[in-house]
Amino acid sequence: MSAGSIDDFEQPIADLEAQIERVKRLTREHGLDRNDEIAQLEQQVQRLITERYSNLSGWDKTRIARNARRPYTLDFIRLMLSDFTELHGDRVFGDDGAMIGGVGKLGDQWVTVVGQQKGRDAQERHKRNFGMARPEGYRKALRLMQLSEKFNRPILCLVDTPAADCTVPSEERGISEAIARTIRDMFLLKVPVLVVILGEGGSGGAIGIGVGDRVLMLEHAIYSVIPPEGCAAIIWRDSSRGPEAAEALQLTAQHALRFGVVDEVVSEPVGGAHRDYDEAARQLRTALERNLAELSSLTPERLLENRYERFRKLGQFVDTAANGAG
Amino acid sequence: MGNGWFRKGKGPQEFPEGLWIQCENPKCRELLFIREWERNLKVCRKCQYHFRLSGAERAALLTDPGTFIEHDAGLESRNPLNFPKYNDSLERYRRETGQSDAIVSGDGQCEGIPFSLAVTDARFMMGSMGSVVGERLTRSVERATQNGWPVVLVSGTGGGARMQEGILALMQMAKTSGAIAHHHAAGLLTVVILTHPSMAGVLASWGSLGDVILAEPGAMIGFVGQRVSKQAQVSKVPSDFQTAEFQLAHGQVDRVVPRKDLKATLATLFEFAGYTPVARPDAVSTGSGE
């Protein structure tokens, strides 16, 4: 089963849903009263979904996070922001379709939003480079964040990427430098920055726009230093052992919360964000507005200090010389 | 060379007597007299291949004799994910290198000018960056910021962020870059020296954040390993792809500097940036973060 598909563990759900459709059609076409049966089946589906989604492994979540039915960055932008106006280009080389940027309103609040965008069909995937941003993408993102700072507007970073682009042209144009500079300069932005891991938080590509005052993560998203398959290939020389690696890497939102890497896990509709885009966006928007309100009272100095401390404390070690925990 | 003449081992192959060593460059394979090779800072006299240095050797190379004071040498990883076999690896590398992790850091002087130094060591788990590397490097940058000093960061990291520490390893990219952001905002100088190899998460964070970035000749420097990047693309990979010279040609490093000239280059940059020598060599030990 490919890592981008959740069809296997959703099959029983899909079967039941198909059965309900059949019964409904019969009801319509033949005027039979089967409402009791329908209600019963619908209850059964809900139970099945709840049960299945309350007990997900790291690998299950990996597949949910990568699934093409999952709402993407532009879906969330469409559903959460009004007056969204996309802005393009890094002013150096080009425009990167894998990285979206623009301005819009979250409720009454003007914000700047940047984020990786994946594609659902072949043409869109090509245009979006599978959500793998190039140097131009990170430079565009930073340019727009600094534009936002100039006009004192908060920044919203939506992360959904398998990794940054690692082709020869990206190397030639300094993909490492583009990521590094964006990370560094995000620590100096004098406006509130909210980061959301929407789906895949893929290593350097994710942290490249991942420095914020608050980092939120959707319930079934993943955040990992390396794709599980890549990890398995290195450790066991067998990339098919991704499921084991996904457990070992502890890449779920619940793990990230425990490590202090994220501040809040945003609930998804029962059965995952792909089952109800509107509800997923509504819950995220509520969380974003609450966090923005909390940050709005802080001075720029305090904001920067807290942002640094937030990341400064991440890591686990012991000091054997001092005989104490670090 | 499989003729059994050379001792098999992890490091450079040596003659039984320990007098000679063979150049690691497969295109060279020159036999080098060890004492002469060491005097030449472990650079092949024939092809100029730069052998790897340990963190301690690197500190000795870049600081005035007797000025380097190591900090935080007791920090050890806690294996936060309880990752399979990670404790065994750490134990083995600690035995082999005599270090607690893939980094040596501290303070020293270069031509009398005090500075903080952090060096990642490719001999320890490919020099990969976990919590300990991130913390010690961050503390080095912070000491420099507090003291108004320049900081020198030397990368010998082939492994990037250390996957055995999962997402916490990735966060070290942010943590170290944040420390550099505040050092930068204070108007202080950061010099990065990229040695063989400098890759992945380290290059995509502090490894690319020098005001000036120097590289040793022939060092492999790049975002992801060539095997991965070859898979990811149809276009041909240039023959010098991800070398120091390739990165120089593409504007990603300021200078390729032979090992013997590194310290003098540092001194020049320190002087340009307005740093002045301290009167007494022991002045460096005050105001430390320990």
Q: Hey, are the CB atoms on B237 and A168 less than 8 Å from each other?
A: yes
Write phi, then psi, for A319 (nearest 5 degrees). -105, 100
Residue A45 has pLDDT above 50, yes or no: yes
Buried b (16+ CB within 10 A) or exposed e, B60-84: bbbbbeebbbbbbbbbbbbbbbebe
Q: Hey, are the CB atoms on A320 and B74 less than 8 Å from each other?
A: yes
Contact B135, B101 (CB under 8 A): no
Q: Hey, are the CB atoms on B229 and A167 less than 8 Å from each other?
A: yes
For residue B153, count other CB atoms closer than 10 A to its CB.
26
Distance from CA of B251 to the nearest CA of A (A): 8
Sequence-distant (6+) residues with CB within 8 A of B125 are B89, B90, B93, B102, B159, B162
For residue B27, count other CB atoms closer than 10 A to its CB.
7
Residue B290: its pLDDT value, please? 41
On chain A, the residues whose CB falls within 8 A of the CB of B182 are: 187, 308
Q: Hey, are the CB atoms on B173 and A204 less than 8 Å from each other?
A: yes
Q: What gap in Å lies between CA B86 and CA B79, rounded to an integer?
A: 7
Residue A25 has pLDDT above 90, yes or no: no
For residue A232, count other CB atoms closer than 10 A to its CB.
22
Q: Which bin fits B257, alpha (ψ -120 to 50), beta or left (φ > 0)?
A: beta
Q: Which residue has the higher pLDDT, B290 or B260?
A: B260
Distance from CA of B33 to the nearest CA of A (A): 37
Local confidence band at A34 (pLDDT 50, 70, 90 cut-offs)? confident
Interfacial B residues in 1-60 facing A (CB < 8 Å): none
Distance from CA of B236 to the nearest CA of A (A): 8
Q: Hey, are the CB atoms on A319 and B251 less than 8 Å from each other?
A: no
Q: What gap in Å lies between CA B106 and CA B289, rounded to an integer?
A: 10
Residue A11: its pLDDT value, please? 85
Residue B231 has pLDDT above 80, yes or no: no
Residue B282: its pLDDT value, please? 54
| Long-range contacts formed by A45-50: CB under 8 A, 24+ apart | A45/A13, A45/A16, A45/A17, A45/A20, A46/A270, A48/A12, A48/A13, A48/A16, A49/A13, A49/A270, A49/A271, A49/A275, A50/A270, A50/A271
**Which residues make beta-bridge pairs with B151?**
B116, B190
Residue B264: its pLDDT value, please? 98
Q: Hey, are the CB atoms on A180 and B224 less than 8 Å from each other?
A: no
- Choose the closest CB to B171 out of A173, A250, A261: A261
Q: Which one of B173, B183, B229 makes the best mutation probe of the A interface by having the most chain A beta carbons within 10 Å? A: B173
**Does the CB of B233 have a partner CB in chain A at under 8 Å?**
yes
The three-state (H, E, C) secondary structure of A97-157, written as one string = CCEEEEEEEECCEEEEEEEECCCCCHHHHHHHHHHCCCHHHHHHHHHHHHHHHHCCCCEEE
Q: Hey, are the CB atoms on A180 and B206 less than 8 Å from each other?
A: yes
Residue B249: its pLDDT value, please? 96
- Choose the closest CB to B207 out of A176, A225, A316: A176
Average pLDDT across chain A, whole number: 94
- Choose the closest CB to B78 out of A188, A248, A318: A318
Local confidence band at B12 (pLDDT 50, 70, 90 cut-offs)? low
User: DSSP secondary-structure letter at B274?
Assistant: T
**What is the maximum span of chain B, computed from C-alpha positions, in angstroms?**
59
Average pLDDT over residues B57-69: 97
Q: Hey, are the CB atoms on B167 and A259 less than 8 Å from each other?
A: yes
Residue B9 has pLDDT above 60, yes or no: no
- Choose the closest CB to A317 out of B78, B161, B251: B78
Q: At what angle are helices B166-185 and A300-312 packed, to 10 degrees?
A: 140
**Does the CB of B184 have a partner CB in chain A at under 8 Å?**
yes
Average pLDDT over residues A9-38: 84
Local confidence band at B17 (pLDDT 50, 70, 90 cut-offs)? low
Average pLDDT across chain B, whole number: 90
Distance from CA of A281 to the nearest CA of B (A): 26
**What is the maximum span of chain A, computed from C-alpha positions, in angstroms?**
81
Q: What gap in Å lies between CA A283 and CA A287, rounded to an integer?
A: 6
Residue B283 has pLDDT above 70, yes or no: no
Q: Hey, are the CB atoms on B80 and A259 less than 8 Å from each other?
A: yes
Q: What gap in Å lies between CA B24 and CA B44, rounded to an integer?
A: 9
Residue A326: its pLDDT value, please? 41
Helix (H, G, I), strand (E, B) or coil at B192: strand
Local confidence band at B173 (pLDDT 50, 70, 90 cut-offs)? very high
Q: Quick one: how far is CA B119 from the chain centroid?
A: 4
- Choose the closest CB to A166 out of B170, B171, B223: B223
Give the ipTM.
0.94
Average pLDDT over residues B196-212: 96
Distance from CA of B217 to the nearest CA of A (A): 18
Q: What gap in Å lies between CA B140 and CA B146, rounded to an integer?
A: 10
Helix (H, G, I), strand (E, B) or coil at B68: coil
Tens digits of residue pLDDT in B129-156: 999 999 999 999 999 999 999 999 999 9
For residue A75, count other CB atoms closer than 10 A to its CB.
16
Residue A324: its pLDDT value, please? 44
Tens digits of residue pLDDT in A58-108: 999 999 999 999 999 999 999 999 999 999 999 999 999 999 999 999 999
